[in-house]
Amino acid sequence: DTGVSQDPRHKITKRGQNVTFRCDPISEHNRLYWYRQTLGQGPEFLTYFQNEAQLEKSRLLSDRFSAERPKGSFSTLEIQRTEQGDSAMYLCASSRGDSYEQYFGPGTRLTVT
C-alpha cells in the first residue's frame, strides 16, 4: 500500500474564491472519509463515501461544500466562495473490510486571507 495521498498539501486563497482538494485513497479501500481539523481540536467529520455513493454528510457541510467520488476511486472536496472560517486542515481517510480501521492522508492546509 502506498498510503492515502492528498493534493495540494497547502493552499492559500483569497476570500470568495473557490478551491478544490483531491484525495487518493489506499487502493482497494472502498470507504473514504473527509474531516476538518482546526488548531487544538480533534478532526470533525464532514462526509463519507462507500464506493461512489455519498452515504453521510455532516451538518457542517454547508451548501458551499461539495464532495464527489467518481467511479469509487479518488475523491474531490470543493469549497465555493471561501470564508475566513474555512481556514483549517482538511483530512482524508480510507478504510476497507469489516474492521473500519481508518488510514489518514497528510492533509491539505487551507488558509483563507
Partner 1 sequence: KQEVTQIPAALSVPEGENLVLNCSFTDSAIYNLQWFRQDPGKGLTSLLLIQSSQREQTSGRLNASLDKSSGRSTLYIAASQPGDSATYLCAVRNTNAGKSTFGDGTTLTVKP
Residues that bind partner 1 (CB under 8 A): 4, 33, 35, 40-45, 48, 50, 55-56, 58, 91, 93, 98-107, 109
Q: How far is the CB of 1 from partner 1 (least distance, A)?
A: 12
Nearer to partner 1, 21 or 35 (CB): 35
Contact, 101 vs 2, CB < 8 A?
Answer: no
Q: How far is the CB of 79 from partner 1 (least distance, A)?
A: 19
Phi then psi for 72, rounded to 5 degrees?
A: 65, 25
